[in-house]
Amino acid sequence: MEHQENQVEQFHDHDITMSYFSALPEELISLILSKTSARDACRFSAVSSQFRSATESDLVWEKFLPSNYSEIISRCDSTFASKKHFYLSVFQSTIYLDNDTKVRRITQVEKCFMGCNPKASM
Amino acid sequence: MSSSSTTTTTTRLLMLKASDGVTFEVEEAVATKLGAINNMVEEEGSEDLICLPNVNGKFLGMVLEWCKKHANNNTNSDKGNDEVNKWWDKEFVMDLDQNTLYHLLMAADYLSGTELVDLLTEKVASMIRGKKVEEIRETFKIKSDFLPGQEEEIRKKNSWAFE
């Protein structure tokens, strides 16, 4: 197999000053972000508005959730617009489970136990 | 047309033709690591010549080089192969510039080379992890297209991520 010996790049589709990353299809950008962390994905959403839908994608955020997340969602008293919304709700505000009149909050300890604490090392 | 058995023991050779006319003769067992090629080959009466108008020769060659290494490693005795593959994958992506990384990723995606897509997206992810917003922009030459105030709003909303 021949390859690599041709050092002269001949690409007509992209200018050298242009960002190759920006030219990637949205699904690939989401796949890439799903391999980072919640913190990285949040930071990435502040890079440029062109990546908005790629960074909001459920494909990205479900990777940051524990494997039993759908069970937790089904026990929640509120609904969530997206996996990102659910993830951030768990860590930034109080969520209520099981329609409990005593108001059962997910505590910080449980959040850690769920394995998706964004403050933990990632 | 040679007889088309799809078992990996055949030595059927396929001819892959890139967009720039460069051709590669590849063993079926190697080329079928790519889902798109596998689908074409499984079609009854499939041709041995496969034209790939969306990939140029340079990147098709690199994709096939990866396929070949993995196909070979997988037929060798089992133990240690994962290690060999991992080591070789690391070498493969180590010094890729962004131009090459982009075209390889597009080629691998187009050819449904799932494992290779995984490897390359992991490489890009490693270039993002732990970086600040400005560093990400610099790394990938991305220009911000936010209106004044929009970026600040995003930062405020999830301030923990920007600490």
**Which CATH number does the domain housing residue B21 bear?**
3.30.710.10
Structure tokens that stand for A92 in this block: 């930034």
The interface predicted TM-score (ipTM) is 0.88
What does the pLDDT look like over B38-59, one tens digit per residue?
999 988 778 889 999 999 999 9
Place of tokens 């290690």: B83
**Does residue B161 lie within any of the structural domains?**
no
What does the pLDDT look like over B83-107, one tens digit per residue?
888 999 999 999 999 999 999 999 9
pLDDT recorded at residue B75: 64
Chain A partners within 8 Å of B151 (Cβ): 46
B133-140 and A38-45 helices, crossing angle to 10° = 70
**Does residue B44 lie within any of the structural domains?**
yes
**Does residue B147 lie within any of the structural domains?**
no
* Residues of chain A contacting B, Cβ within 8 Å: 1-4, 6, 9, 11, 14, 17-25, 28, 31-33, 35-40, 42-50, 88, 91-92, 118-119
Structure tokens that stand for B83 in this block: 């290690």
With an 8 Å Cβ cutoff, is B91 touching chain A?
no
CA distances from B101 to B84, B93, B104, B115 (A): 22, 8, 5, 15
Q: Please provide residue B18's backbone torsions phi and psi, each rounded to the nearest 5 degrees.
A: -80, 170
CA distance B75 to B57: 26
What does the pLDDT look like over A6-57, one tens digit per residue?
433 444 444 456 789 999 999 999 999 999 999 999 999 999 999 999 999 9
**CB interface of B with A, residues 18-77, below 8 Å:** 22, 24, 26, 57-58, 61-62, 64-65, 68
What does the pLDDT look like over B132-158, one tens digit per residue?
999 999 999 999 999 999 999 999 998
**Does residue B160 lie within any of the structural domains?**
no
**Does residue B155 lie within any of the structural domains?**
no
Number of domains making up chain B: 1
**Does residue B149 lie within any of the structural domains?**
no
**Does residue B62 lie within any of the structural domains?**
yes
pLDDT recorded at residue A103: 46
